[in-house]
C-alpha cells in the first residue's frame, strides 16, 4: 500500500515538473517572438516630412548666380615647370612644359565671382591680378571676360562678360549687419562648384592691414574694415558671395586666417569678407559705363636722358624731364614710384596749362606705364598737333632735388591730367 502511494507521489512530481517545463518553454518562446512587447510600436510614414533649414530658400535663390573665375597667364614652354600658390581664398594652378619654344595660356589660379548686373561679375582683385586672359565659368559653360574696373586697395574687381545670361543677385546693406547674424558663403573652393557654408557674423569693422605695390612701384599700407565670419572660407572662395538669409549679397569673401605669424598655433573659423557697401561705388561706376582703376633720389641717374630732344616739326607739351634712379633706396623701397621726373615746365606751354608742375613724376602716358623719358617721347612723337595725351603723375610733398632725411614722411597723390599737344619753338618733349 505504502509502495503504491510512493509510486503515485513520484509520478505526480514528474507530471508537475513536465507542466512547469511546458510553461517556461512557452513563455521563453513568446519573449523571443516579441522582445519589445512592452515598447511602443514604431510607425513608418509613407510620406516622410521634409524639414528645410532657414538657409534653404536663400541658397536656392542665389546659388546659380555664383560663378567661377579662371586666371590665365602667358608662359613660354621653355620653362620646365610652372606652379604658383596664391593667398588665402584663391585656388592654385600648375603644370609642366614639353620643351618646345611655343607660348601658351596657362591656368595660374581659380576663384569665384558673383553676377551683380546683367553681364557684370564682382570678384576680388587678387583673383584677376596679372591675368593675360580671364574666363568665367558656370557648370559646363565658359565665357570670355575682361576687367571693367578695379580697386586694388579694396581688393575688388568688376568683370564684363558678354552673353552671360545669368540672373544677378540683389545687393544688400552691410551697414545694418549685427554680430550674430547668419552668414551664408557660396563659392568654388578647390573647384567644388557652388559649395555652401554657413556661420555667423563674428565681428564687424575688423581693421585688416595690407601692403600693396602699385604698377608704378609705389608701396602703400592700406587698412580696410572687414566683416569677420566663422563660415568656412577656403582656397577658391575668394570673390564669391556672403549672403544673408534673405539671399541678399552683403559681403565678398576675401581671406582666411590659419595661424599667427608670431606663434606656431593654428586657428579655425576666422574668415574675412569685404562689406558690400564698400564695393557699391565701384559697381555703380562700372555698370554706368565708366572705366575705373584704383588703385627717387634727386640726382640724375647715369645714362639718363636729360633734355632729350625730338624733331622740332613734332608737336610737344613743353617740359624738360629726366629719368629717376630706379635703384635708389627711396624708389627701390617703394616710397616713391618709378617714372619720369619733371625738371622744368615751359611758361605758357600745354603742360603748364594742364597743371603739370616741376617735381611731378610722370608714371603713365595714355595707359602705358612709363619708366624712362624715351618711352614718353616715343608715345608723344606719334601724335599730331591738337591731339591730347592723358598723363598720370605722382605729386609728392618733398623736393626731390634735395636730400630726403626720412623717407617715411613722404606722402603724395596720383593726379590725372589731359594735355593737348602744340607746336612750340624749342625741340623739347
**Mean pLDDT over the full length of the chain:** 78
Give the integer Cα–Cα distance in Å for 355 and 249: 42
**Looking at 65, 126, 301, 328, which residue is catalytic?**
126
Q: CB 308: neighbour CB atoms within 10 A?
A: 19
Give the integer Cα–Cα distance in Å for 344 and 33: 107
pLDDT reported for residue 3: 53
- The answer on pLDDT for 313 being more than 90 is no
Is 265 labeled as catalytic in the residue annotation?
no
pLDDT tens-place string over residues 355-371? 999 999 999 999 999 88
**Looking at 65, 110, 155, 301, which residue is catalytic?**
155
Structure-model confidence comparison of residues 290 and 166, the more confident one? 166
Is 406 labeled as catalytic in the residue annotation?
no
Is 295 labeled as catalytic in the residue annotation?
no
Can you spell out the DSSP letters for 255-291?
Answer: EE--B-TTSS-B--S-EEEEEHHHHHHHHHHHHTT--
> Mean pLDDT across the stretch 229-246?
92
Helix (H, G, I), strand (E, B) or coil at 253: strand
> Mean pLDDT across the stretch 175-193?
92
pLDDT reported for residue 324: 83
**Looking at 238, 254, 301, 349, which residue is catalytic?**
238
pTM for this one? 0.59
Measured between alpha carbons, how far apart are the two ends of the chain, in Å? 151
Vertex 297, ends 293 and 300: CA angle to 5°? 105
pLDDT tens-place string over residues 49-92? 666 788 999 999 999 999 999 999 887 655 443 333 333 444 44
Contact 113, 68 (CB under 8 A): yes
pLDDT reported for residue 429: 60
pLDDT tens-place string over residues 83-135? 333 334 444 444 444 445 567 778 888 899 999 999 999 999 999 988 889 99
**Residue 10: exposure state from Cβ atoms within 10 A (0-12, 13-18, ≥19):** exposed
Half-sphere exposure of 270 (CA within 13 A, CB side): 9
pLDDT reported for residue 264: 60
pLDDT reported for residue 366: 93
Give the integer Cα–Cα distance in Å for 62 and 250: 12
Give the integer Cα–Cα distance in Å for 184 and 197: 6
Amino acid at each position: 500500500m505504502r509502495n503504491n502511494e510512493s509510486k503515485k507521489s513520484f509520478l505526480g512530481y514528474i507530471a508537475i515538473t513536465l507542466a512547469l517545463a511546458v510553461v517556461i518553454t512557452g513563455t521563453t518562446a513568446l519573449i523571443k517572438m516579441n522582445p519589445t512587447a512592452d515598447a511602443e510600436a514604431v510607425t513608418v510614414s509613407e510620406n516622410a516630412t521634409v524639414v528645410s533649414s532657414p538657409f534653404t530658400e536663400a541658397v536656392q535663390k542665389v546659388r546659380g548666380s555664383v560663378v567661377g573665375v579662371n586666371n590665365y597667364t602667358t608662359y613660354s614652354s621653355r620653362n620646365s615647370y610652372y606652379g604658383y600658390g596664391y593667398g588665402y581664398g584663391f585656388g592654385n594652378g600648375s603644370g609642366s612644359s614639353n620643351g618646345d619654344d611655343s607660348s601658351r595660356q596657362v591656368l595660374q589660379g581659380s576663384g569665384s565671382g558673383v553676377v551683380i548686373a546683367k553681364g557684370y561679375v564682382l570678384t576680388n582683385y587678387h583673383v584677376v591680378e596679372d591675368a593675360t586672359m580671364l574666363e568665367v565659368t558656370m557648370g559646363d559653360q565658359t565665357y570670355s571676360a575682361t576687367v571693367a574696373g578695379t580697386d586694388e586697395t579694396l581688393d575688388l574687381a568688376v568683370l564684363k562678360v558678354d552673353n552671360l545670361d545669368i540672373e544677378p543677385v540683389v545687393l544688400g546693406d552691410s551697414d545694418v549687419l549685427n554680430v550674430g547674424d547668419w552668414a551664408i558663403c557660396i563659392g568654388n573652393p578647390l573647384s567644388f562648384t557652388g559649395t555652401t557654408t554657413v556661420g555667423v557674423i563674428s565681428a564687424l569693422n575688423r581693421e585688416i592691414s595690407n601692403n600693396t605695390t602699385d604698377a608704378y612701384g609705389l608701396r602703400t599700407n592700406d587698412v580696410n574694415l572687414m566683416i569677420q565670419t566663422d563660415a568656412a572660407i577656403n582656397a577658391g572662395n575668394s570673390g564669391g558671395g556672403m549672403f544673408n538669409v534673405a539671399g541678399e549679397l552683403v559681403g565678398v569673401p576675401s581671406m582666411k586666417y590659419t595661424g599667427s605669424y608670431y606663434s606656431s598655433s593654428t586657428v579655425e573659423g576666422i574668415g574675412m569678407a569685404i562689406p558690400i557697401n564698400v564695393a557699391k561705388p565701384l559697381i555703380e561706376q562700372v555698370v554706368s559705363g565708366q572705366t575705373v582703376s584704383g588703385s627717387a633720389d634727386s640726382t640724375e641717374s647715369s645714362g639718363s636722358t636729360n633734355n632729350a630732344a625730338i624733331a622740332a616739326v613734332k608737336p610737344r607739351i613743353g617740359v624738360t624731364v629726366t629719368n629717376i634712379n630706379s635703384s635708389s633706396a627711396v624708389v627701390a623701397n617703394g616710397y616713391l614710384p618709378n617714372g619720369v621726373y619733371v625738371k622744368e615746365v615751359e611758361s605758357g606751354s600745354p603742360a603748364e596749362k594742364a597743371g603739370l608742375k616741376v617735381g611731378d613724376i610722370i608714371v603713365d602716358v595714355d595707359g602705358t606705364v612709363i619708366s624712362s623719358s624715351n618711352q614718353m617721347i616715343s608715345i608723344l612723337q606719334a601724335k599730331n598737333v591738337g591731339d591730347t595725351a592723358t598723363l598720370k603723375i605722382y605729386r609728392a610733398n618733398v623736393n626731390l632735388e634735395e636730400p630726403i632725411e626720412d623717407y617715411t614722411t613722404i606722402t603724395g597723390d596720383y593726379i590725372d591730367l589731359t594735355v593737348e599737344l602744340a607746336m612750340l619753338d624749342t625741340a623739347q618733349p
